[in-house]
Amino acid sequence: MPSSLHAWRAGRSWRATDEAAGNLVLAAGAPPDRLRAVGTLLRVAAAANWGVVLSRWVDRRHPVAHGAVIGLALFGFEYQLLGRRRPLVRVLPALPQLADQLVFGTVTGAVLARRRAGRAVRETADV
């Protein structure tokens, strides 16, 4: 993910986003290992959840572009709305977090497009 690469290049912990995610349910002063464990679980659950949501919302004509736009909306929701009250989220640089969400939305849109195309080919072959 872009934020992990950015943190690594800046000499910061590439797990800071996991700790910040853990801060959504645990206090900022919780042990870093516990924050990372909880944060990792939350991030996996959120990605799975948003993947299902995007599978219903992404426009079938322009899935990659629409996925990217939804990624922007996810950034606003997760980083700006949910995270602004959490100290470990607030200290994360915004642009790498935005890049993470854009990549997620774009890749999800591309995967959905490919799956839908494969399904359409199979359905026409069955006819």
The pTM assigned to this predicted structure is 0.82
List, in order, residues 6 or more apart from 46 with CB less than 8 Å away.
21, 78
Q: How confident is the model at residue 125 (pLDDT cuts 50, 70, 90)?
A: low
Q: Long-range CB contacts (< 8 A, 24+ apart) of 123-127?
A: none
Query: Could you tell me which residue, 37 or 56, shows the higher pLDDT?
Result: 37
Which class for 127: exposed (0-12), middle (13-18), buried (19 or more C-beta within 10 A)? exposed
Residue with tokens 């290049």: 9
pLDDT of residue 57: 82
